[in-house]
Every structure is written in C-alpha cells, then in structure tokens.
A and B are shown apart, each in its own frame.
Chain A
Amino acid sequence: MTLDSIDRLILNHLQEGFPITPDPFLVVAQDLGLDEADLLARLERMKTERIITRFGPFFDAEAMGGAFCLCAMTVPQADFETVMTKVNARPEVAHNYERSHPLNMWFVLATETAAEIETVANSLERETGLRVLRFPKLQEFFIRFRVAA
C-alpha cells in the first residue's frame, strides 16, 4: 500500500505518544488538523495493511515481573542445527538469532525468577557441552528510537 503525506504525519505524530483522555482520537485529530473519523479510518487501514505493528501501551516486561537474560554461545558449524534444536526446544527461549561473529548464537531467556535463568543456562551447558555466556542488562538507557515515515 502507498502512504500519503497525511498517513506519514499520523505515523510520526503517534510514535511520540497518545493521550489518556476520554476522546483521545478527537484530541489527536484536532492537533493534526484532521477529522476524527478520517484518522480512525487511516489507522484501521494501516493496521490491516501491517504498516502499524501495534498501537497501544508498551509495557516494561521486567516491571510486570519476570527475569530476562541475553545469552550467547559459540557453536561449531557442524553442530549448529543440533544445538539450535536443543536451545529452541526450551520454552524459556524467547528469541534466537544466528549472528555474524565467533559467538554465533544469541538468544533471550525469559523466566519467572532470576534463579531460573541460571538453572536453564546451566542445563543448556550440560546438554550441549558448550558455554552459555550470560549478558544480563545492568543498565537500560532511555530510547528515542523513531522510524521516519
């Protein structure tokens, strides 16, 4: 689908935030000089066309409870598929990427408690015979990431 200048205006504006008020679309429409119904129709279309991945509150997963840890392994090419199958079989593995580096397998563990991170990582080490390096976040920096539409 093609985006016109109004669609782009909406995307850029709504990346900055959305008000908590009874008629938030009306407020946004007035800010942008648009009609509320037009704004809603455009958002609906962009969501259907998957230009918009998600629209709503973004929650801090850790604040909601649970523990997360980025992990990495150096997996020999010959064993890659076998190790990948073992790693992916764990429900605690949320994402797993092959990356261009001697540390070539990077995944995120998501568990209820910090102790479980250690349990799962240790058990993956035993199962694969490979080290699982752990990179828990020490500090998170505020992000101003925006996609220019």
Chain B
Amino acid sequence: MSIDSTDRQIIAATQAGLPLVPQPYRAVAQELGLDESELCERLRLMQDSGIIRRIAVAPNHYALGMVANGMSVWDIEDTRVTDLGARVGALDYVSHCYERPRALPDWPYNLFAMIHGSDRDEVESKRQEVATLLGGACRGHDILYSTRILKKTGLRLRSKEVR
C-alpha cells in the first residue's frame, strides 16, 4: 500500500498519541479538516496493510518493574531461522526479534531477540528457555547487556513523500 499526503498528516497528528476524549477519532478528524468516517477508513487501511502495527497502550516497562533487558543473539541454521524466529518472537517477554546477516568471523549470530525481565537473573533464565526452544538448530548464542545509553533520540517522521 502506498500512503498519500493525507495519510502523512494523520500519522503526524497521531504519532504522539490519541487524545483521551470520548470521541478521539472525531477530535483528530476535526483538527485535520477531515470527516471522521474518512479518517477511520484510512486508519483501518493502514492497519490492514501493516503501516499501523496496532493501536494500543505502551506501558512504561520500568514503572511496571520490567527493568532488565538484554539483546540475545543466536546462530541458527539458515533453513530453520524463519520458523524458529517466529516462535521466539511469539514469546511474551521478547521484543525486537529479527533475522540479520552474520559478520563472519567476528559475529556468527543471525537471530536477534531482546529479552525483558524484572532483573538480570530472570533475563538469564528466559534466555535458557529460548535456548531449550531452539534446541539443536542453535549452534551458539550470547547476550549483550547495555552498560550505558550513549544517545537516544526518537525516530523522526520525514515530512516529504517517499513512496
């Protein structure tokens, strides 16, 4: 699906969040000079095509006690990575699950999965659960903990039409 300038306006108007009012879509539509029904139809189309992953609450992990995380990395047989990556991504303590290229000889790992827990021990025990799930198709794994945030900026929406 390609998005047009109206979709981009909708993205820009909602990427900070929906207003907490009884009719949030009507409020956004009014701000943009659109009909509520058109706004909702465009949101549905973007959701169906995956441009909107979901409309939901993102809780603050830290405030809810999920203060530890590590970037787990796995060397999975190429023929198994699609199937096993999907199973790792489906675990409720995993975020950011991707197949990425290896960089041999320094880096043999092709599956990346962020594992979250309430402390380092919990992250380690979940890592063992993932290792068990992967079984013999996994030839090696590691986990990298962040020791310092060096830079953190939000990804900015580009205002120009890209596709």
Min Cβ gap B154→A in Å is: 8
> A65–B162 contact, CB under 8 A?
yes
The majority secondary structure among interface residues of chain B is mixed
Partner of A59, one of B11, B24, B61, B90: B11
Contact A54 B17, beta carbon cutoff 8 Å:
yes
A94 at the interface (CB under 8 A from B): yes
Chain B 119-158 interface 0/1 with A at a Cβ cutoff of 8 Å (1 = within)? 0000000000000000000000010111111111111111
Find A112's partner among B54, B151, B162 (CB 8 Å cutoff).
B162
A126 is an interface residue with CB less than 8 A from chain B:
no
* CB of A90, distance to nearest CB on chain B (Å): 9
Report B139 CB to chain A, min CB distance, Å: 18
Chain B residues with CB below 8 A from A65, complex form: 158, 161-163
Interface residues on A, range: 35 or more
Contact with A along B75-111 (1 / 0, CB 8 A): 0000001100110111111111111110100110000
User: By the criterion CB–CB under 8 Å, are A141 and B56 in contact?
Assistant: no
Q: How far is the CB of A139 from chain B (nearest CB, A)?
A: 4
In the complex formed, the residue of A with least CB distance to B113 is: A141
- How many Å from the CB of B118 to the closest CB on chain A? 10
What A residues does B43 contact at CB under 8 A?
20, 57
Alpha-carbon gap, A26 to B26, bound state (A): 14
Whether B34 sits at the interface, judged by CB under 8 Å, is no
B26 and A22 contacting across the interface, CB-CB below 8 Å? yes
CB pair A40–B53 under 8 Å, yes or no, is no
Contact A18 B22 (CB under 8 A): no
> A61 contacts B155, CB within 8 Å?
yes
Rounded to whole angstroms, the CA-CA distance of A20 and B41 in the bound complex is 9
A52 CB, nearest partner CB in chain B, Å: 6
A138–B20 touching, CB < 8 Å: no
CB nearest to A58 among chain B residues = B53
CB distance from B136 to the nearest CB of A (A): 20
Beta-carbon contact of B103 and A133 below 8 Å: yes
Interface residue ranges, B against A (CB under 8 Å): 3, 8, 11, 14-18, 20-26, 36, 40, 43-44, 46-47, 49-61, 63-64, 66, 71, 81-82, 85-86, 88-101, 103, 106-107, 112, 116, 142, 144-158, 161-163
* Interface pairs A-B: 4 shortest CB-CB: A65-B162, A141-B89, A14-B57, A139-B99
